[in-house]
Amino acid sequence: MIKKSSTGQRRSGENKNLPCKDCGQIVYNVDSNAVSTICWRCVNKQLNPNSLIASDLDPEAWKDLVKRKIFKLNGRSENTTAEGEL
């Protein structure tokens, strides 16, 4: 009797992988009902058009960006020794 193994197979009716409709990167664990998806990067970019993705940046550029973002968000700097023009 041949029995198809289900070991290691994805469970049907659950999540699947889809390419991001914006950048084409595979997004994992998308709802199985979804016909298109968008990755967190693109979501983030849509929500914050001015934001940049950390992994897209050089570490130095990222640090610099974070510094500035934090300054802007808080409107003031706490606990920092960065050269400020405040």
* Min separation Cβ 81 and Zn ion, Å: 37
Cβ atoms of residues 56 and 74 within 8 Å: no
Question: By C-beta, is 22 or 69 nearer to Zn ion?
Answer: 22
Rule CB under 5 A: choose which of 23, 54, 70, 82 binds Zn ion. Answer: 23
| 22 lines the binding site for Zn ion (CB under 5 A) | yes
Interacting positions 28-47 with Zn ion (CB under 5 A): 39, 42
| 18 lines the binding site for Zn ion (CB under 5 A) | no
Question: By C-beta, is 5 or 55 nearer to Zn ion?
Answer: 55
DSSP three-state, residue 60? helix
CA distances from 38 to 15, 32, 33, 74, 75 (A): 14, 14, 14, 30, 32
CA distances from 40 to 48, 64, 70 (A): 12, 22, 21
Q: Which residues bind Zn ion (CB under 5 A)?
A: 20, 22-23, 39, 42
